[in-house]
């Protein structure tokens, strides 16, 4: 299950010139856990993800689910030109 986009995590790690193995050694997680985090498929505890994010200078933000956004079939009406 993807519950976040891990591409920013991988990008930040690469910008720092670190390999997944470097990160694994620094924070005491397996390389497979690092890979899962970077793919957005990590199913371990949030404290482990946060440990990696702290190392990278990133953070987790929780926001309210936006269920009132327009649906695709409503866009034509929203953006139709005035007559």
Is the pLDDT at 2 greater than 70? The verdict is no
CATH 1.10.260 given to domain 7-56: yes
Task: Give residue-wise pLDDT tens across range 28-78.
Answer: 999 999 999 999 998 888 899 999 999 999 998 887 777 777 778 888 887
3-state secondary structure the chain: CCCCCCHHHHHHHHHCCCCHHHHHHHHCCCHHHHHHHHCCCCCCCHHHHHHHHHHHCCCCCCCCCCCCCCCHHHHHHHCCCCC
| pTM assigned to the model | 0.71
Task: Give residue-wise pLDDT tens across range 15-33.
Answer: 999 999 999 999 999 999 9
Would you list the domain boundaries of the chain? 7-56
């Amino acid at each position: 299950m993807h519950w976040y986009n891990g591409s920013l995590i991988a990008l930040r790690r690469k910008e720092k010139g670190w390999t997944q193995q470097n990160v694994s050694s620094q924070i005491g997680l397996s390389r497979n856990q690092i890979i899962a985090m970077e793919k957005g498929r990590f199913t371990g505890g949030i404290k482990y993800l946060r440990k990696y994010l702290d190392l990278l200078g990133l953070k987790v933000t929780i926001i309210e689910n936006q269920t009132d956004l327009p649906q695709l079939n409503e866009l034509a009406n929203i953006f139709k030109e005035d007559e």
